[in-house]
A and B are shown apart, each in its own frame.
Chain A
Amino acid sequence: MMELIVTVFSAAFFVTVIRTTTPLLLATLGGLIADLSGALNVALEGMMLIGCLTAVIVSVYAPWYVAVAAGLGAGALLGLIMAFFAYRLKADIILVGFAINILAAGGTVFALALATGGDKGTSINLQSKAIPAVDLSFLSAIPGVGPILTAFLSGHSVLSWVAAFLVFAVWYFLYRTPWGLWLRGVGEYPAAPEAAGIPVNKVRTWSLIVSGALAGLGGAQLAMFNYVGFTRDMTAGRGFIALGAVLLGARHPIGALLAALLFGAFEALAVVMPGLFNDVPAELIRMIPFVVTIAALVLFSIRAQRALAMRGVK
């Protein structure tokens, strides 16, 4: 137990938490934007997975930032497809989302087999690149706190910093710009913005595109930093966990950050625990993020119901 506590409060663990949180946070922000526009984006999982594969394949032939942009673009394209079928062709958005997940699960394996000439499932044959870590070791020069700052702040992926900035950007967009107001209005009560002359379907479509782009970005981080390379189903439910994180985060960007950090911390715990406890089975450790998601979902729902009841009383 003592080792666990020591590990959890070490700088290395903090860096691991940031690493596991980043893809989740990006997907959660994507889920948040879709959710606020009135669409439960169950396709986050598939969008991330296709983002992973696109980033890995492009990174073989292009610099890392092009690969990241490609992952982002692939997610955005999937968002557009989703919007097209859900809003123009009036399909149920949840079914469309699952169609995209099925497409991603099969399509990535298929595309990988083509790209590698027969490899089904992993991209071992591909020389894919990684996203560079931001080196802030010059902070050590600061007397006193310098080394600590370096230990905590250095070595994160570029995308981790981008994600942190995006939390602020999404908050600013949602609550300080007219378009954010439109988006929230469309999600809350579409008839009102419609009457006010706001292009409701356009807002919804763009929300799904941005949602997909963020999920694709999360996929790029997953396949180019957390792991370098692609493996079949490598997202392993992160897109679905992100859906839970949106709800747990009370549908707010700061809440999304905290929820993603919580899930990231438990995932990091699952990463470090096998080294510390040999007697705890790996399967049970791998279950942790899913159990935590359910527990969080239940707790959040209780809280939301209590809030509703209080409003009803007043």
Chain B
Amino acid sequence: MSNVPAIDRASRWKTIRSEVGRAVGALVIALFVAFVVVLLTSKAPFEALNVLLTQPISKPRTIGLWIDDVAKLTVTGLAFSLVFQARQFAMGVQGQVYIGALAASYVALSPLGASWAGIPLGITAAMLAGAVYGFLPGIAKAKLGANEIVSSLMLNYIAIELCNYLVRTSLPKPQPGVLTTDNFPASAVFPPLIPNTRIDLGIILALIAVLVVWFALYRTSWGLKLRLVGHNSRFAEYSGIKATFIMVSAMTAAGALGGLLGSMFVQGQTYGKLTVLFEGGLAFEGILVAIVARSRPLAVPIVALFYAYLRQGAQLMNIRTDVPAEVIGIVTAIIILLVSSSFSLNFITRLFKRGPAPAVAAVTAAGGTAK
């Protein structure tokens, strides 16, 4: 009996080692493909690669950009981890970000925003709004069986258009015609932790969120039920767990995280105001973060740290060299494909053992993705 925890610990280390190995292997392959693409297309490929891999830590300002991205990727990664652990494929983080940002902006631009309540109330409003927006596809699935993927994606588009509309019409603007609101009062903007960088309260909120989600998933009965539902919802149902309730609550909690991310966007140092399309597709990057982290909350910030570095490197490469930042989309897609599949380090050898046909398929796959 006494060696059970030891075995447990040993197997856990083994899992962690093999997961890290897979993630690193996938990253190396993806970077290699990206490198080949850059090599074929750029006039100065080595300079581009140098910018991608070294520039994000070159200046305090770029480090700030990196850490800011880490905070945001962590929160969206957590939101996706929560729904993935319950085996739901709600893709609504993007919409929740916009709705949360709208709620935070209404608070920040109201008289309350100029008081001490600007920050806590803005965050709360954003999380509530996001939770409601996450609840909608959840309840539609639980009560009606409406496919949560389709409904959450549609809600994303609706939220974006709603944000465009409200920014253009009803929210206060510095001058007519611009698609941003007034700057928020200083009391409603997250204070920077290090002056003159974008490192602000957001990174602390992100780390708190990591701990809260970890605690909820691994130290509460709700979390146990949620993971059971994710493993086998029928078994969970038989053992007396209300699978639909768990499902809806997971999607609502993930919605609150999405809302939090919205408030981090508009109340953070980056913006300090609401503009249209501020999110720039970051919310969906949470899919990659959650998949590589195997939906484990404690692994999410670590993955975010690496991935944010790549994203910032790509942005700098976009500005300083002739390689567009979108090359990172290729890297992202390959990492998701490899990590979510039964890919492992000896996968290549297995592929060749099976005969030429799969190898040809692999080549076409690689050729197709590199296109």
A89 within 8 A of B: yes
B165 proximity list for chain A (CB < 8 A): 281, 283-284
> How many Å lie between the Cα of A89 and that of B339 in the bound state?
10
A302 proximity list for chain B (CB < 8 A): 144
> How many Å lie between the Cα of A17 and that of B155 in the bound state?
24
Which of A94, A100, A103, A300 has the most chain B CB within a 10 Å cutoff? A103
> How many Å lie between the Cα of A125 and that of B165 in the bound state?
31
A298 proximity list for chain B (CB < 8 A): 140, 144, 146, 151
Residues of B at under 8 Å CB distance from A? Answer: 41, 89, 91, 140, 144-147, 149-151, 153-155, 157-158, 161-162, 164-165, 168-169, 281, 284, 287-288, 291, 322, 324, 326-330, 332-334, 336-337, 340-343, 347, 358, 361-362, 364-365, 368-369, 371
CB pair A294–B151 under 8 Å, yes or no, is: yes
Interface of A is mostly: helix
A106 proximity list for chain B (CB < 8 A): 326-330, 332-333
A305 within 8 A of B: yes
> How many Å lie between the Cα of A109 and that of B327 in the bound state?
9
Which among A216-224, A236-244, A254-262 touches the partner chain? A236-244
> How many Å lie between the Cα of A283 and that of B162 in the bound state?
7
Task: Tell me the nearest residue of chain B to A90, going by C-beta.
Answer: B342
A58 to chain B, nearest CB (A): 13
A125 to chain B, nearest CB (A): 15
* Interchain Cβ contacts under 8 Å between A and B, 25 examples: A77-B368, A78-B368, A80-B361, A80-B365, A81-B368, A84-B365, A85-B365, A90-B342, A98-B336, A99-B333, A99-B334, A99-B340, A102-B287, A105-B281, A105-B329, A107-B371, A109-B324, A109-B326, A110-B327, A111-B371, A237-B153, A290-B154, A297-B150, A297-B154, A298-B146
Instruction: Please pick, from B157, B287, B368, the residue contacting A95 in the complex, using a CB distance under 8 A.
Output: B287
CB pair B333–A304 under 8 Å, yes or no, is: no
Which of A105, A106, A300, A305 has the most chain B CB within a 10 Å cutoff? A106
Residues of A at under 8 Å CB distance from B? Answer: 40, 42, 77-78, 80-81, 84-85, 88-92, 94-96, 98-100, 102-103, 105-107, 109-111, 113-114, 118, 120, 236-237, 240-241, 243-244, 247, 281, 283-284, 286-287, 290-291, 293-294, 297-298, 300-302, 304-305
Interface of B is mostly: helix
B81 to chain A, nearest CB (A): 13
With contact pairs A40-B149, A301-B146 given, residues A244 and B329 touching in the complex (Cβ less than 8 Å)? no
B140 proximity list for chain A (CB < 8 A): 297-298, 301
CB pair B150–A240 under 8 Å, yes or no, is: yes
User: Given A77-B364, A84-B361, A103-B332, list of 5 further CB < 8 A pairs?
Assistant: A40-B147, A88-B358, A237-B157, A290-B157, A300-B146
> How many Å lie between the Cα of A88 and that of B347 in the bound state?
12
CB pair A99–B337 under 8 Å, yes or no, is: yes
A96 proximity list for chain B (CB < 8 A): 336-337, 340-341
With contact pairs A95-B336, A99-B333, A247-B150 given, residues A283 and B168 touching in the complex (Cβ less than 8 Å)? yes
Which of A85, A89, A100, A102 has the most chain B CB within a 10 Å cutoff? A102
Task: Tell me the nearest residue of chain B to A291, going by C-beta.
Answer: B158
> How many Å lie between the Cα of A294 and that of B329 in the bound state?
29
